[in-house]
Structure 1
Amino acid sequence: MNTHTYYTAVGHFRRKTNALDQSYPVIIINQQEYCVDIQEMALWTALNWRLLDFSQIEAEYNKLDQDCIIPARRTLEDCLGRLCTRGLVASGTGETGFEALYDLLGGLYVTPLSASLPLRLATFLKLTVLKGVSISKARELFRRDRPNKQEAQVMALSRQALLSTAELVKCAEVGAKDISTDEKLMDALYNDNDTTSDNIVDMMLTAESRERVTVAIANLYLRKQIIFQRV
């Protein structure tokens, strides 16, 4: 049986400067910095705000390769594998496209982009400097978004606590809207004898809300309203 595998970028980009006033790129995940070379940065950029299979990655990467003249230190497969091993890229596999999507997103944590001004500024710079997007076009991309009801609920919950896709599914299952304290959060997520932080992704496989929440998160990501983190 054929399987589907999707990939996406994790974390956000920031340009830093060393003691010699030389700039270099880093990827920041959960406040930890990861240095990357030009080839890794190009591949991570190709996956940022995208959910792609390998053939789509290859097409996007080749566009960047021509534009940036990326030195081929390693094959695309090896570079992708290295980024996955380092946790800078996530992958998900399933028998259907949706199963692969949930496998990809289930354990990733959602951070609303609008919640962090420095993050918005860093992302704006990445679009204009690395991707060559015009300032006027970048401003258009950051205009006020109009989410649907499920997307708005995802954003509202994610602004109260750092939640994974699976945890957001669980919140939808129990109708949780206020998770502003640790007690309310734990009651919403782990109010039974079976669910734990280690198995919640699997526990939500049969949840009625799984598809609509996962699709909402994917749509927010593709519209550049959120990024994904690991903890």
Structure 2
Amino acid sequence: MSSRTYYTAVGHFRRRINGLGRSCPVIIINEQEYNVDIQEMALWTTLNWRLLDFPQVEEEYNKLNQDCTIPALRTLENCLGRLCTRGLVASGTGRTDFEALYDLLGGLYVSPLSENLLRRLAAFLKLTVLRGIPASQARKLFQKDQPSEEEAQVMALSRQALLSTAELVKCAELGVRDVSTDEKLMDALYNDNDTTSDNIPDMMLTAKNRERITTAVANLYLRQQIIFQWV
């Protein structure tokens, strides 16, 4: 039986000045910095805020390569495998699209992004002044995101603690709303002898809330409301 595999980026991007005074890209995951070369950065950027299978990865990567020539240090497959090995890209495989999506997101930790008014204002000015886009269209940048009930639930819990998608599913299963301390989190999610952070994605495979919470996490990510982390 055929399977489907999805990929996405983990962490967030920053520029750092190296010992030679040059600007260089780094990926930050849970406060740990990872240096990347130009090809790795290009592929990571292709996957940032996207959930793609390999043909889609290849298509988006080639589009980026047309705009700025990317040094071919290795094949695309090898570069993708290298990023997965380093934990800068995550992958998930399943027999169906949703199974692959849950396998991808179940063990990833959800980190909400805070709103940055200055960044949005700068983007607004860039669109209107430099690119000539009508203000009525650019004003959409300032429209407040309207989350669904499930998305609001994910954001509320994720602002209290760093939770994986599988942990968020279990919170929905148990009706948990307060994980504001380590003690409350452990009592709510790990108050038995079987559940661990490693096996909770598998334990939530049959949870009735698995699909709606996983979908909520995916939608928030695609709308750039969250990023993913490892712990």
Q: TM-score, normalised by structure 1?
A: 0.89
Supply the distance in 2 between the matched residues of 1:164 and 1:189 (Cα, whole angstroms): 11
- Pick closer, same or farther for the CA change 1:142–1:94 going to 2, 3 Å: farther
Q: Identify the residue that residue 26 of structure 1 maps to in structure 2.
A: 26
- Pick closer, same or farther for the CA change 1:203–1:177 going to 2, 3 Å: same
Percent of aligned positions that are identical: 76
Does residue 150 (structure 1) correspond to residue 150 (structure 2)? The answer is yes
Q: Identify the residue that residue 219 of structure 1 maps to in structure 2.
A: 219
Aligned length: 221
What amino acid does structure 1 have at the position aligned with 2:221? Y
Q: TM-score, normalised by structure 2?
A: 0.89
For structure 2, which runs of at least 5 residues remain unmatched after alignment? none
Does residue 37 (structure 1) correspond to residue 37 (structure 2)? The answer is yes
Per-residue Cα deviation, 1:188-230 (whole angstroms, up to 9, x for no partner): 1112332122210100001111000000000000000000000
Q: Which segment drifts farther, 188-197 or 59-68?
A: 188-197
- Pick closer, same or farther for the CA change 1:16–1:180 going to 2, 3 Å: same
- Pick closer, same or farther for the CA change 1:138–1:55 going to 2, 3 Å: farther
Secondary structure at 1:206 match in 2 = coil
What amino acid does structure 2 have at the position aligned with 1:67? D
Secondary structure at 2:204 match in 1 = helix
Q: Identify the residue that residue 170 of structure 1 maps to in structure 2.
A: 170
Supply the distance in 2 between the matched residues of 1:185 and 1:14 (Cα, whole angstroms): 31
- Pick closer, same or farther for the CA change 1:169–1:50 going to 2, 3 Å: same
Equivalent residues in 2 for 1:1-231, closer than 5 Å: 1-114=1-114, 140-141=140-141, 143-231=143-231
How far does residue 22 in structure 1 lie from its aligned partner after superposition?
A: 1.2
Secondary structure at 1:80 match in 2 = helix
Secondary structure at 1:177 match in 2 = coil
- Pick closer, same or farther for the CA change 1:77–1:18 going to 2, 3 Å: same
What amino acid does structure 2 have at the position aligned with 1:12? H
Supply the distance in 2 between the matched residues of 1:62 and 1:141 (Cα, whole angstroms): 28
How far does residue 144 in structure 1 lie from its aligned partner after superposition?
A: 2.3
Secondary structure at 2:73 match in 1 = coil
Supply the distance in 1 between the matched residues of 2:167 and 2:143 (Cα, whole angstroms): 28
How far does residue 182 in structure 1 lie from its aligned partner after superposition?
A: 1.6
What amino acid does structure 2 have at the position aligned with 1:229? Q
- Pick closer, same or farther for the CA change 1:22–1:63 going to 2, 3 Å: same
Q: Which has the larger radius of gyration?
A: 2
What amino acid does structure 1 have at the position aligned with 2:49? W
Q: CA RMSD in A?
A: 2.4
